[in-house]
Amino acid sequence: MQKFDCTFSSATVEYFFDYSVEYLFAQYSERKIILLTDANVFAAHPSIFLNRPTIVIEAGEQHKNQATVDKIIEELLRLETDRNTLLVGIGGGVVTDIAGYVAGIYMRGIDVGFVPTTILAMVDASIGGKNGIDVGVYKNMIGLIRQPKFLCYDLALLQTLPNAEWINGFAEIIKHACIKSEPMFRHLVAQQLSDFQNNHQLLSDLILQNAQIKNVVVQNDEFEKGDRKLLNFGHTLGHAIENELQLPHGHAISVGMMVASRLSAKQNGFAGVADIEKVLKQYGLTVAANYDKIKAMEVLRMDKKRIGDKINFILLSYIGEAYIEPISFEHIEQAI
């Protein structure tokens, strides 16, 4: 167990790492707490929600939209949520994204905390304060950057996580290795997914290391003027195909990382394309997908990273080192 604070330019986030969610509730016993979760997490961990006011949303990225936000707000009103209420999002990235967003706009902002229940949410989605919802095929088109009050990592919650969700989360871990840590990349090459699933310490170390990589990036650039953009490696094309193909996020960005790697090879002679393909496959991720190129280009044109007729693409110079290069839509069209 480790407890530490992480101070961003706008706020300080309290980390409860490897603590039980019950410990967390005890810490906030004097506050009115409302829990927000999805149907899967609610069914998998009934004891957490017993006798606690809970809003349950439908599971899945397709529900990360305004209709779900409307329902949550209606429930918050019904539960007489006031400015001193603490909203706690317990779930994967969809739940923490929606919980963070709703808490940011309800009564112009109430406190929110996250209990991520997936690898993906633990190493990426729940960290850094970005929240939001999709608008049609456009991912995270609406949202805020606003830090939660705390993050609680209860690794016991991963025991019920389906294998497909483990694979999904490792895409972001591989991404962190690609852009920030060559030693972690080698560590991943040397292990198998099952090693992490069966060894608490190995897993705990990996998750903490990944949370710290993301924390440092966000601390240096909370409002994404520079370095934080590197975290979008694989995400530009990934987002463009995720909703169209109904691909899990990890697989979509895995395809996106392959495209960005090949684009890197073309732009600067990056030599690690085969290594990245190998490790993605090793962890069960998709490296190619059959998608509608015209539709993907349409979505890219509405990407938040677009500046005029170019889009900021994240490329690699070598494994562990990424940079931003504006690429014209024409060049992207050729690459995909």
Q: Which residues are known catalytic residues?
A: 108, 130, 172, 214, 224, 228, 232, 235, 239, 249
Helix 163-180 to helix 249-268 angle (10° resolution) is: 30
User: Token pair for residue 333?
Assistant: 């069209």
Select from 43-51, 132-140, 187-195, 236-244 the region that touches a second copy (CB under 8 A): 132-140
Q: How far apart are CA 305 and CA 139, in angstroms?
A: 12
Site string for a second copy, 145-174 (x = CB under 8 A): x-----------------------------
On whether the CB atoms of residues 118 and 161 are closer than 8 A, the answer is: yes
* Contact flag: residue 138 with a second copy (CB under 8 A): yes
Select from 19-27, 131-139, 282-290, 324-332 the region that touches a second copy (CB under 8 A): 131-139
Nearer to a second copy, 143 or 238 (CB): 143
User: Of 1, 77, 156, 216, which one interacts with a second copy (CB under 8 A)?
Assistant: 77
DSSP string, 156-191: GGGGG--HHHHHHHHHHHHHHHHHH-HHHHHHHHHS
- Which residues are within 8 A (CB) of 244 and not within 5 positions of it... i.e. 6 or more apart? 137, 291, 292, 295, 296, 299
- Considering the complex, what minimum distance in angstroms separates the CB of residue 89 from a second copy? 18
* Contact flag: residue 306 with a second copy (CB under 8 A): yes
Side-chain half-sphere of 17: how many Cα atoms within 13 Å? Answer: 22
- Considering the complex, what minimum distance in angstroms separates the CB of residue 105 from a second copy? 5
Helix (H, G, I), strand (E, B) or coil at 134: strand
Q: How far is CA 76 from the centre of its chain?
A: 25
* Contact flag: residue 82 with a second copy (CB under 8 A): yes
- Considering the complex, what minimum distance in angstroms separates the CB of residue 60 from a second copy? 21
* Contact flag: residue 294 with a second copy (CB under 8 A): no
Select from 16-24, 138-146, 149-157, 193-201 the region that touches a second copy (CB under 8 A): 138-146
User: Of 39, 44, 141, 155, which one interacts with a second copy (CB under 8 A)?
Assistant: 141
Nearer to a second copy, 5 or 108 (CB): 108
Nearer to a second copy, 48 or 237 (CB): 237
Nearer to a second copy, 229 or 251 (CB): 229
User: Of 14, 25, 53, 73, which one interacts with a second copy (CB under 8 A)?
Assistant: 73
User: Of 91, 100, 113, 143, which one interacts with a second copy (CB under 8 A)?
Assistant: 143
Q: How far apart are CA 172 and CA 185, in angstroms?
A: 12
Helix (H, G, I), strand (E, B) or coil at 44: helix
* Contact flag: residue 51 with a second copy (CB under 8 A): no
Nearer to a second copy, 109 or 183 (CB): 109
On whether the CB atoms of residues 38 and 64 are closer than 8 A, the answer is: no
User: Token pair for residue 129?
Assistant: 């304060």
Q: How far apart are CA 255 and CA 328, in angstroms?
A: 20
Closest CA to 249 of 213, 279, 285, 273: 285
Q: How many residues bind a second copy, per CB under 8 A?
A: 30
Query: Distances from the Cα of 11 to the Cαs of 99, 103, 123, 142, in angstroms?
Result: 17, 15, 20, 21
Residues lying near a second copy in the complex (CB under 8 A): 66, 70, 73, 77, 80, 82-84, 104-109, 130, 132, 135, 138, 140-145, 301-302, 304-307
